Chains A and B, each alone.
Chain A
Amino acid sequence: MLLLLYLSGGLFLGWSLGANDASNIFGTAVSTRMVKFRTAAIIASLFLILGAVISGAGTSQTLGELGSITMIAGAFMVALSAAFTVLWMTRLGLPVSTSQAIVGSIIGWNLFAGNSIDFYALSRIVFTWIFSPILAAIFAWLIYLIVTKLFSVARIHLFRLDSYTRISLIAVGAFGAYSLGANNIANVVGVFIPVVPFTDIEFVGITFNSAQQLFLLGGIAIAVGIFTYSKRVMLTVGKGLVKLNPQTALVVVLSQALVLFLFSSRGLEGWLAAHGLPTIPLVPLSSSQVVIGAVIGIGLAHGGKGIQYRILARIASGWVSTPVIAAIITFFALFVLQNVFNLKVY
């Protein structure tokens, strides 16, 4: 019971991730009524959990390199502070991402514990944050050009295009959910990996290690977020900030899924290393920023009209402000936990 209480910080982050980020995958599909919310929620939850359990280890290891938290009370406060940062900054209308908050929180813990910060790991993470929306823009630009060319050659009837789009939105959404689970689960429960007392479980011939059990718990928290709150967010995102039609949404979700997958896949990392190629760092990204990158890519394919460069500046400000705020909050929260509640946090 106490363990669950400690994990609640991470599970709350998971709930918030499900509530907010599922809309990056199925927002347009649901708001344009191409896919029913129930279908979207079931597919998103299922594939997010699969992605988390099967491929979540890569990005968790990177966070571990930045700071391996040694006490469960510390991990709890790191996760809770990140969640609080996300909640607070969202309320203030500031650009925020769970990935950037958790990295800031881990740095805050490092500072509090007096550990040195691995600047190599940190620079790799920050570089990836900057690079990922750019890569998403390139992917979206390319995919958009290919798709529009295909449509004009294939001469698909509007009604049949509707069926193809619906099925593709579901298939690409499943891939997007898998990639999001693989990439972002580290944000939710990554900090607990070194400290949970779980033992390996064997189920139908497959062994689940303690990290995978944590990923499953985190995945369930994300699924609860999807079912309880994401519909509202989907309807707002789909019709508010960035209004896409179902075909452009398909391009955006596919680009996002590819980028998240590239930065989470250990299989790809191993393949690249085996062929003597430079590997891609496995880093938790902000799916919202990746989506914005993809939308900009489509804008560029249209000739670059209507791109609001102010939004880009806002994103860039988040790369700095979120980790700094999260680090400060974590530092003070750990101080309170240690000195008021007498708990060991490192």
Chain B
Amino acid sequence: MQLFKKTKKLELKMDEFLDTVSEAGIIFQEGIKHYLNNKTDRFENQIKKIRQFENRADNLRRVIEQQLYTETLIPESRGDVLALLETTDNVINQAKETLLEFSVEKPQVPQVFHEEVLHLTDHVVHAVDEMTKAIRAFFKDPKAVRNYTHKVYHYESEADRASEHLKRAIFSSEKLTLAEKIHLRYFALHIDTIADRAEDVADRLGIYTIKRSI
């Protein structure tokens, strides 16, 4: 019975970890909106929140990893689960880093690009959301993983397209200096990288799911 209690606790921690990652995506989106709308206090508040979420995710990841090792749980798939946790953690780290860069570097984003930045952010957050659904499916219903990973790939390529579109618009603008263009380009790249990180997780999930089914 002790064994069931332990695994139940671990399941809850894993759910909490994924909730944290998923919520961090929403906080990131809100943060970008507040930044573009010049609501500095609210934007800084989102940064505070995403830092807390990133810390919480780190702590949960460590606790889960330690428990998996000290109690020798799931010996066959332990390595896969640990790698999955690490790569998922990269997603939330990237979201936090990107918001922090907005706070530190304060890029000037002309009104004309707002819609495209929000569009890009929207695709990125969708990719993260589908990624967390895919991870949940990996633990409970491996056959359903593909239903979610293909959506991750879809949103990731949409994010790539939106990012490219944004960069083209930035560099074809006649009102911006080259320095401003390069500065803005990096922010398009940073936001898009979050979707790339989600894609990394989906790639791993694809292999781990096949391994689980053998």
Contact = CB atoms under 8 A, between A and B. Distances in A.
Contact of A152 (B7, B77, B81, B143): B143
B10 interface: yes
A32 B139 contact: no
A158 B15 CA distance: 12
Contacts of A159: 7, 10-11, 14, 73-74, 139
Interface in A150-184: 152, 155-160, 162-163, 166-167
Interface in B31-84: 72-77, 81
B179 interface: no
B8 interface: yes
A167 B3 contact: yes
B3 A163 contact: yes
Contacts of A166: 3
A310 to B, nearest CB: 22
Contacts of A157: 7, 11, 139-140
Contact of B76 (A155, A160, A246): A246
Interface residues of B, number: 22
Interface string A30-41: 001110000000
A228 interface: no
A245 interface: yes
Given A152-B143, A159-B139, A34 B75 contact: yes
B78 to A, nearest CB: 10
Contact of A162 (B73, B140, B214): B73
Interface string B127-171: 000000000001111010000000000000000000000000000
Contacts of A167: 3
A155 B140 contact: yes
Contacts of A162: 7, 73-74
A314 to B, nearest CB: 25
Contacts of B3: 163, 166-167
Nearest to A33: B75
Contacts of A155: 140-141
Give the interface size class of chain A. 10 to 19
B214 A160 contact: no
Contacts of B138: 158
Interface string A8-34: 000000000000000000000000111
A158 B74 contact: yes
Nearest to B136: A157
Interface in B6-24: 6-8, 10-11, 14
Contacts of B77: 158
Contact of B7 (A33, A34, A163, A245): A163
Contacts of A152: 141, 143
Nearest to B214: A245
Contacts of B141: 152, 155
A155 B77 CA distance: 17
With most chain B CB atoms within 10 A of its CB, the pick from A34, A152, A163, A245 is: A163
Contacts of A34: 75
A157 B9 CA distance: 12
Given A155-B140, A158-B77, A167-B3, A33 B72 contact: yes
B165 to A, nearest CB: 40
Nearest to A34: B75
B61 to A, nearest CB: 15
A341 B145 CA distance: 73
A125 B4 CA distance: 45
Contacts of B140: 155-158
A160 B14 contact: no
B76 A32 contact: yes
A319 B166 CA distance: 75
A23 to B, nearest CB: 18
B14 to A, nearest CB: 7
A286 B143 CA distance: 38
A245 B76 contact: yes
A155 B74 CA distance: 16
A160 B4 contact: yes
B11 to A, nearest CB: 5
B4 A163 contact: yes
Contact of A160 (B11, B75, B212): B11
A34 B138 CA distance: 21
A163 B10 CA distance: 12
19 contacts: A32-B75, A33-B72, A34-B75, A152-B143, A155-B141, A156-B140, A157-B7, A157-B11, A158-B140, A159-B74, A160-B7, A160-B8, A162-B74, A163-B3, A163-B4, A163-B7, A166-B3, A167-B3, A246-B76
Closest 8 CB pairs of A and B: A159-B7, A33-B75, A158-B139, A163-B3, A162-B74, A155-B140, A163-B7, A155-B141
Given A32-B76, A160-B7, A163-B4, 5 more contacts: A33-B72, A158-B81, A159-B74, A162-B73, A162-B74
